[in-house]
């Protein structure tokens, strides 16, 4: 167990897109030994993700978009299938998922349910992600979605059969952690039967 953590030094390495810091810290190990370590920490703010599901049609709404980091790490075309998500940008997590559902998927949702929170990459990234689910109907569709032009988003909206998405996980067509987590939550909690 780690106790008595002291930040010794913090240096900003980059503040271009988000903030990359080099942090030196000291802590007391459970054997009484004091240790000093240095790590790089990427701070992009906290975010929220939402799975929209339709109990009548037995479908979910997902987004497909290009993700450069996946392209640089063996994703041949860089395209990733994921749930709707975004950074909080000073909004509450609930406001964030409602905003993102409108921008990315084209659906105006009002009733959202928070199901859990998780640190997605705690070894190097500070982000805490808030996870939500919400039912959608065709009556909630107000635009074609696709993301914001100002943010140069280019998102393809996918309406997929709930049962089919689990095969997409097995085949590697869905490899996004937040998406897999929310789909598993939906399955385990019987959101779509």
* pLDDT given for residue 152 in this prediction: 60
| Mean pLDDT, residues 105-114 taken together | 96
What's the CA gap between 152 and 147, in Å, rounded? 8
Q: Residue 184 CA to chain centroid, in angstroms?
A: 15
Poorest-confidence range of 28-42, 111-125, 134-148?
A: 134-148
Q: What are phi and psi of 15, to 5 degrees?
A: -135, 45
* pLDDT given for residue 45 in this prediction: 95
This prediction's pTM: 0.92
Quote helix, strand, coil % in the chain, to nearest 5. Answer: 25, 40, 35
The owner of tokens 């271009």 is 16
Q: What letter would DSSP give residue 125?
A: B
What's the CA gap between 21 and 25, in Å, rounded? 12
| Mean pLDDT, residues 93-109 taken together | 96
* pLDDT given for residue 36 in this prediction: 95
* pLDDT given for residue 29 in this prediction: 87
* pLDDT given for residue 1 in this prediction: 62
Q: Is the pLDDT score of 79 beyond 90? A: yes
Q: Is the pLDDT score of 35 beyond 90? A: yes
| Mean pLDDT, residues 90-112 taken together | 96
Adjacent-strand bridge partners of 48? 86, 130
Closest CA to 136 of 30, 64, 61: 61
Question: Could you give the angle at the alpha carbon of 164 between the alpha carbons of 81 and 114, nearest 5°?
Answer: 60
In the three-class reduction of DSSP (H, G, I as helix; E, B as strand; rest coil), residue 17 is classed as coil
DSSP 61-77: EEEEEE-HHHHHTT-TT
pLDDT in tens, 170-186: 999 999 999 999 999 99
What's the CA gap between 144 and 122, in Å, rounded? 35
User: What residues have CB less than 8 Å from 115, skipping those under 6 apart?
Assistant: 131, 132, 133, 182, 185
Closest CA to 93 of 65, 132, 43, 36: 132
* pLDDT given for residue 113 in this prediction: 98
pLDDT in tens, 133-155: 999 999 999 987 877 666 667 88
* pLDDT given for residue 146 in this prediction: 73
**Cα dihedral angle (124, 125, 126, 131), rounded to 10 degrees?**
-130
Q: What is the CATH number of domain 47-188?
A: 3.90.79.10
């Amino acid at each position: 167990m780690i106790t008595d953590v002291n930040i010794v030094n913090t240096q900003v390495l980059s503040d271009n897109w988000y903030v990359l810091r080099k942090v030196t810290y000291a802590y007391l190990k459970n054997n009484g030994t004091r240790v000093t370590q240095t790590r790089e920490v990427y701070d992009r703010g906290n975010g929220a993700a939402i799975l929209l599901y339709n109990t009548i049609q037995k479908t979910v709404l997902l987004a497909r978009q290009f993700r450069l980091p996946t392209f640089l790490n063996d994703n041949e075309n860089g395209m990733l299938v994921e749930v709707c998500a975004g950074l909080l940008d000073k909004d509450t997590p609930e406001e964030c998922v409602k905003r993102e559902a409108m921008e990315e998927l084209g659906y105006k949702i009002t009733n959202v349910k928070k199901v859990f929170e998780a640190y997605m990459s705690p070894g190097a990234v500070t982000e805490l992600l808030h996870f939500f689910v919400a039912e959608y109907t065709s009556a909630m569709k107000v635009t074609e979605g696709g993301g914001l032009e100002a943010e140069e988003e280019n998102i393809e909206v996918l309406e997929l059969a709930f049962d089919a998405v689990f095969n997409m996980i097995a085949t590697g067509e869905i490899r996004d952690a937040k998406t897999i987590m929310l789909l598993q939550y939906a399955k385990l909690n019987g959101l779509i039967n």
